[in-house]
Amino acid sequence: MGRSQINIDECRKILTRYWGFTSFRPLQEEIILSIAEGKDTLGLMPTGGGKSVTFQVPAIVSEGTCLVITPLIALMKEQVDRLNNMEIKSMAIHSAMSREEIDIALDNCIYGDYKFLYISPERISTQIFQGRVGRINLSLVAVDEAHCISQWGYDFRPSYLKIASLRNIISREIPFLALTATATPLVINDIMEKLEFREKNVLRTSFARKNISFVVRHAEEKGTYLVSTLKKVGGSGIVYVRSRKKSKEIATQLVENGIDADYYHAGLPDNVRDRKQASWSTGETRVIVATNAFGMGIDKPDVRFVIHWDIPDSIENYYQESGRAGRDNKQSWAVLLYSPSDRNRLKDSLRQKFPPVEKIKDVYEALCNYLQIPLGAGKDNVYDFNMADFVSKFRLPVIETFNSLGFLQREGYVEFTEEINNPSRVHFVVGRDDLYKFQVANESFDGFIKLLLRSYSGMFTDFVAINEESLAKKAAITREVVYQYLVKLSSMNIIRYIPGKKTALVIFTEERLERKSLLISPDNYLNVREKYIVRLDRMIDYAESNNRCRSVILLDYFGEESDRCGICDVCRERNELDLSKYEFDLILEEIKGVLSEKQPDAQELVKLSSYSEEKVIKVIRWLLDHNKIVQDNDHRLSWKS
């Protein structure tokens, strides 16, 4: 992708034509210009910052196909549908597709003029993809959720490590664009190294959200606090909880107290989830109480508050979820409800999060038996997976089993996906002439074939999603009759029909091994545990800190220096001292300097100061209240290190 191919004025026209914006958001234009120069680029943009625009716009104005790698199949399908609705030809390849579908999709990208090919990372190392990707005229490789490539990150996926192998197959001139919303300095360097960047190149916006007031409320009675707060404040918002059961309980409690609320979690049927999200997005529902399944694709700008009922297990997760507030840049609140029991619960969760190695091996063997995979078989195979049925049949604890699967994924033995709702698909395997002959010879199928062709286009070149209910309604017949027509035409080799299903998937990235050959590296296990504890401790420190600006804590975690925000709960309390930030900081630094050399009492400290007695006393009192300085039995003060 060279500069000659991309004209920034042309990009702006595309932005206006398809997205309705007349100018790019901060950083979008810089990223586009960087990849226009053929540079490998890492873009760090906050949640809701418009990451997809940075590769979609330049790809549209360039020749060739943009390869987009993302682990979120639902998001992949959503973006592909949106692009196709904009009449920008796009394709997706993921684990829920049959080999035949993947075969046709790759051929269409090689011989057709497709602008985007979305692919899930575990498909990259498959023989069929590696053998064909070199024949696709690629303009750019975009890697979304790039933090997944780093073992230092909070969501490591071994399949991401295969992405760099593309450099040996495709032209070395094709730039890589890596995108993520949250990454520490360590993860940033790891991303560039693992993707084999030709030179380091990071473009980032500040992580600061100047319009969000970060607040921690220490509340034992969280329900009472939540109800009273929501009655006092206006606007729309999200309450995040950790369990599906709790989402319903809290929503019910809010409704009983006259607050318009609903609940949302991954266990609800798709149509119910879509309805609930749409109702909240349009303002019909004011408050949505949800698990972290609620988040993907949210672009509601006027979210006034995000409240966390339960403390997340990492600052990355907290920052990403709280960042859904205030995308219209108006004053908003991110509130964490915290009690001492939360700390104990987080610490207790370590046991479930890190099952003993032998338990992980038990889960692996049970999984292989459940899926009926013989020793030495299963590599690159995809299996439907019902977690509830699995744990029930083998009498396994749910959370421990889920986390064991996570370790098996980290070690590169399996991959598993979120539950996918895959619609039914149809592809005509005969040409138009042969189909016409078939219709003439088989009059009983003629009407149904015409119905299919009238209802959907593109079925001769690709598998096309269909809806049996819709076809039945159009033809005034039952869904069962439609199904029988499709099955019969498929058995006669006129069409390929893949019935729809909703399921999670397990992909075996290695063949089934004997238990003794299954290596869960003790060093790796302890390393992962150690990193998790560090992230946990940083999150607890954030919740329990009462003397340091919340924004400063968050930005420091992501390697960014900043002044205090002035609007978080800690800053507001300091503001009540009736001192400017400048005055407060000057007095604080002076006190710190004095206490580094001697241990005076408060009276002496005031006399040693060059500022007014009233102001110095206010700062000393604040520092004592917030445990920044301590007093011994003789009332002498010292700085608490």
Residue 252 zone, left/alpha/beta (φ > 0; ψ -120 to 50; rest): alpha
- Least-confidence region, from 51-65, 364-378, 418-432: 418-432
473 and 520 assigned to the same domain: no
Residue 471 has pLDDT above 60, yes or no: yes
Residue whose C-alpha is closest to residue 363's, from 325, 312, 323, 397: 397
Cα radius of gyration rounded to whole Å, the chain:
28
Same domain assignment for residues 610 and 484: no
Asked if residues 187 and 150 have their Cβ atoms less than 8 Å apart, the reply is: yes
Same domain for 442 and 516? no
Residue 180 · residue 191 · CB < 8 Å? yes
Q: Verify that 291 and 381 share a domain, yes or no.
A: no
In a 13 Å sphere around the CA of 471, the CA atoms on its Cβ side amount to 24
- The answer to whether the Cα torsion of 14, 20, 23, 29 is positive or negative is negative
pLDDT reading at 338 higher than 90: yes
- State whether 246 and 272 are in the same domain: yes
Of 551, 622, 553, nearest in space to 585 by CA? 622
| Residue 438 banded pLDDT, cuts 50, 70, 90 | very high
Same domain assignment for residues 129 and 30: yes
User: Is residue 562 domain-resident?
Assistant: no
The per-residue pLDDT for 3 is 40
Q: Which of 42, 300, 281, 303 is nearest to 179 (CA)?
A: 42
Q: Which residues pair with 631 in a beta bridge?
A: 637
Interior angle at CA 547, CA 542 and CA 552, nearest 5: 55
Count of CB atoms situated within 10 Å of the CB of 515: 11
Report yes or no: 423 and 500 within 8 Å, Cβ to Cβ: yes
- Alpha-carbon gap, residue 51 to 27, rounded angstroms: 10
Domain that holds residue 403: 347-420+504-533
- Residue 395's Cβ-side half-sphere holds a number of Cα atoms within 13 Å equal to 0
Mean pLDDT for 438-456 is: 94
Instruction: Tell me which residue of 458, 386, 469, 459 sits closest to 423, measured CA to CA.
Output: 469
Report the b/e string of 70-84 with b at 16+ CB within 10 A. bbbbbbbbebbeebe
Of 153, 172, 204, the one marking the end of a domain is: 204
Same domain, 157 and 302: no
Task: Write down the pLDDT at residue 595.
Answer: 85
Tokens of 142: 């975009």
φ/ψ (deg, to 5) at 139: -105, -25
Picking from 169, 99, 97, the residue whose alpha carbon sits closest to that of residue 130 is 169
Is 65 within 8 Å of 116 (Cβ atoms)? yes
Confidence of residue 641 (pLDDT cuts 50, 70, 90): low
- Beta strand 41-44 with 176-180: parallel, antiparallel or unpaired? parallel
- Listed in order, strand segments (DSSP E) in 487-596 are 495-498, 501-508
- When divided into structural domains, the chain yields a total of 5
Q: Mean pLDDT across the stretch 3-20?
A: 83
Residues 25 and 170 in one domain: yes
Task: Please name which of 310, 397, 393 lies closest in space to residue 346, comparing C-alpha atoms.
Answer: 310
Same domain? For 512 and 611 the reply is no
* pLDDT at 5 (0 to 100): 65
Q: What angle do CA 573, 578, 582 make, to 5 degrees?
A: 90
Residue pair 567/554 in contact (Cβ under 8 Å)? The answer is: no
User: The tokens of 508 are what?
Assistant: 């075996």
CB contact at 8 A, 423 and 466: yes
pLDDT in tens, 138-169: 999 999 999 999 988 778 888 999 999 999 99
Whether residue 239 lies inside any domain: the answer is yes
Is residue 558 in a domain? no
pLDDT digits (tens, 9 = 90+) for 165-185: 999 999 989 999 999 988 889
Task: Decide which of 147, 175, 204 is a domain's last residue.
Answer: 204
288-308 core/surface letters (b: 16 or more CB in 10 A; e: else): bbbbebbbeebebeebbbbbb
Establish if 572 belongs to a structural domain.
no
83 in the same domain as 181: yes
Task: Quote the pLDDT of residue 521.
Answer: 81
Q: Taking Cα atoms as reference points, which of 200, 282, 283 lies closest to residue 234?
A: 283
Q: Cβ–Cβ contacts within 10 Å for residue 56, how many?
A: 25
Residue 265 lies in a domain: yes
Tens digits of residue pLDDT in 252-311: 999 999 999 999 998 888 789 889 999 999 999 999 999 988 876 677 889 999 999 999
Kindly give, in sequence order, each residue whose CB lies less than 8 Å from that of residue 633, ignoring residues fewer than 6 positions away: none
- The confidence score (pLDDT) of residue 299 equals 76
Q: Pull the structure tokens for residue 149.
A: 């490539």
CATH number at residue 523: 1.10.10
119-144 pLDDT, tens digit each: 999 899 899 999 999 999 999 999 99
Distance CA 41, CA 31 (A): 7
| Structure confidence at residue 499 (pLDDT) | 93
Average pLDDT over residues 41-56: 88
Mean pLDDT of 555-560: 91
SS3 98: coil
- The answer, yes or no, to whether residue 627 has pLDDT greater than 80, is no
At 79, which amino acid appears?
Q
- 10 Å CB burial of residue 275 (0-12, 13-18, 19+) is middle
| Position 226 in a domain | yes
Establish if 257 belongs to a structural domain: yes
Nearest 5°: phi and psi at 189? -65, -35
| 602 neighbors 637 (Cβ within 8 angstroms) | yes
Rounded Cα distance, 447 and 455, in Å:
12
Distance CA 88, CA 115 (A): 7
* Residue whose C-alpha is closest to residue 208's, from 560, 541, 535: 560
Residue 354 located in a structural domain: yes
Strands 261-264 and 138-143: unpaired
Judgement on whether residues 34 and 140 belong to the same structural domain of the protein: yes
Whether 172 and 101 map to the same domain: the answer is yes
Check: CB of residue 393 under 8 Å from CB of residue 403: no
Q: Fill in the amino acid letter for 293.
A: A
Q: Which of these, 112, 175, 193, 181, lies nearest to 145 by C-alpha position?
A: 181
Question: In 26-98, which residue ranges form alpha helices assigned H by DSSP?
Answer: 28-36, 53-61, 73-85
User: Which CATH number does the domain housing residue 216 bear?
Assistant: 3.40.50.300
pLDDT digits (tens, 9 = 90+) for 363-393: 999 999 999 999 999 998 999 999 989 999 9
The percent of residues above 90 in pLDDT, for the chain, comes to: 60
